[in-house]
Amino acid sequence: MNLLEKSQAVETLFGELEAQSKQFHVEAGMGCISGCGFCCSNPEVPASALEFLPLAFDLYDKGQAEVLAEQLAATQSKGVCVVYRAQSADLSKGFCGNYTKRGLICRVFGASARMNTKTNQKELITCKQLKSERPAAFQAVSARINADLDIPLAPAYYTRLKDIDEALTALHPVNEAILLALELVLRYRFYEEEDKAN
Ligand code: SF4
């Protein structure tokens, strides 16, 4: 698989997760709090270059990849996700500036579960905001995912991501992962252009 094919495989995986997550949200009647950007305001969001390949190809197609890569390299990839559009001074309110191309970590929060191997129960992967602002809904959904409510299992999606290219699934703070993805895409497109010219 070349880099573009890997990116397309990641998008296919995201499409499956999206369909499952939508179904879950409809049936659970619980989603993220509107306008909340709490998760995105954490600079340590752990992500891999592979899950941000679709974003990097999209930014390349829009002519923004080089500038953004230079910006991230200059700041040593510090700070909150470069795609995040904060709407409050404390950064807790905001939105994703490229929602359709967001990474896997951005997709599993509030929309998937992990298995607790001690209790053998599914646990909803969510944030402390939702737990504290909607405790009753959180408790109800936590019970239902172990009874009659289907929910995507995040570890299964991470395994499938690894199946695409394990070497690109090492975890980094989010901006480092985006920078790595941008560098890979810029190199890939550069050599592609060179091949065409020869
Ligand atoms: S890509 Fe979007 S959803 Fe993911 S951390 Fe960045 S701003 Fe948030």
Report how far residue 115's alpha carbon sits from residue 151's, in angstroms, rounded to the nearest whole number: 11
Q: Which residues contact 11 (CB under 8 A, 6 or more apart)?
A: 54
> What secondary structure letter does DSSP report for 88?
S
Q: What is the pLDDT of residue 197?
A: 83
Contacts of 73 (CB under 8 A, 6+ apart): 179
Please give the Cα distance from 99 to 32 (Å, whole number): 14
Residue of minimum CA distance from atom 5 in ligand 1 = 40
Q: Strand, helix or coil at 117?
A: coil
Ligand 1, atom 2: closest residue by C-alpha: 96
Q: Does the pLDDT value for residue 193 go beyond 90?
A: no
CA of 84 to the centre of ligand 1 (A): 6
Q: Where are the beta strands (DSSP E) in the chain?
A: 46-47, 84-86, 94-96, 112-116, 121-125, 172-173
Task: Note the pTM of the prediction, 2 decimals.
Answer: 0.94
Residues with CB under 6 A from ligand 1: 40, 45, 81, 83-84, 96, 102-103, 106, 174
Q: How far is the CA of 36 from the centre of ligand 1 (A)?
A: 12
What separation in Å is there between the alpha carbon of 81 and the centre of ligand 1? 6
Q: What's the gap in Å between 147 CA and the centre of ligand 1? A: 31
Q: Which of 44, 59, 83 to mutate to test the pocket of ligand 1 (most atoms within 8 A of CB)?
A: 83
- The answer, yes or no, to whether residue 30 has pLDDT greater than 90, is no
* Domain containing residue 170: 3-189
pLDDT at 16 over 90: yes
Dihedral pair phi/psi, residue 59, rounded to 5°: -65, -35
Q: How far apart are CA 88 and CA 171, in angstroms?
A: 28
Give residue 113's pLDDT: 96
C-alpha–C-alpha distance, residues 94 and 139, integer Å: 26
Q: pLDDT grade, residue 128 (50/70/90)?
A: confident
pLDDT of residue 55: 98
pLDDT digits (tens, 9 = 90+) for 90-105: 999 999 999 999 999 9
45 C-alpha to center of ligand 1: Å? 9
- Tell me if 198 is assigned to some domain: no
Q: Is residue 175 part of a domain?
A: yes
User: What is the C-alpha separation between 105 and 178, in angstroms, rounded?
Assistant: 13
Predicted local confidence at residue 57, as pLDDT = 98
C-beta neighbour count of 111 within 10 angstroms: 24
Q: Is residue 194 part of a domain?
A: no
Average pLDDT over residues 131-142: 91
* Conformational region of residue 172, where left means phi above 0, alpha means psi within -120 to 50, and beta covers everything else: beta
**Which has more confidence, 131 or 181?**
181
The closest residue, in CA terms, to atom 8 on ligand 1 is 40
pLDDT tens string 49-59: 999 999 999 99
Q: How confident is the model at residue 7 (pLDDT cuts 50, 70, 90)?
A: very high
130 — pLDDT class (breaks 50, 70, 90): confident
> What is the rounded distance in angstroms from the CA atom of residue 136 to the CA atom of residue 111?
17
Does 76 have pLDDT greater than 90?
no
Question: Looking at per-residue confidence, does 197 or 55 come out higher?
Answer: 55
- Number of separate domains in the chain: 1
Q: How far is the CA of 85 from the centre of ligand 1 (A)?
A: 9
Reported as a pLDDT band with limits 50, 70 and 90, residue 174 is very high
In a domain, 78, yes or no: yes
